[in-house]
Amino acid sequence: MEFEERTRGTASVLAPRGKLNLVTAPAVKAKIDELVASGSPRIVVDLSEVTFMDSSGLGALIGSLKSARQAGGDMRIAAAGEQVRAVLKLTNLDRILAPHDTVEDASRGW
């Protein structure tokens, strides 16, 4: 899986591209864990280029959220497409990982 990485204020922004599924989820989790371990516990995951997410992708995001919070930070998601939002809503995880419309909205307040 390809990633674009950038900084927005005090947050690290990670933008994966493609499908977030059983095959690619471990790479996403590892990349977020790497950012947290390097001293960037505030993460925004820009999902605008993610075309599909399954339960493995969702598990990677929840695991990453836990890692960021244990490091004293947080993780937020932004620009999720219709399919990703549907998965979040169906699992009621949109309450824990509330999707923000834009990266700017997600990084506000940090």
Tens digit of each residue's pLDDT (9 = 90 or more) over 91-107: 999 999 999 999 999 99
Strand-pair category, 2-8 with 11-20: antiparallel
Residue ranges covered by each domain of the chain: 2-107
* Superfamily covering domain 2-107: STAS domain (3.30.750.24)
C-alpha span between 101 and 31 (Å, rounded) = 23
3-class secondary structure for 17-57?
A: EEEECCCCHHHHHHHHHHHHHCCCCEEEEECCCEEEECHHH
1 band by pLDDT with thresholds 50, 70 and 90: confident
What is the predicted pLDDT for the residue at 53? 97
Task: Answer yes or no: is pLDDT of 110 > 90.
Answer: no
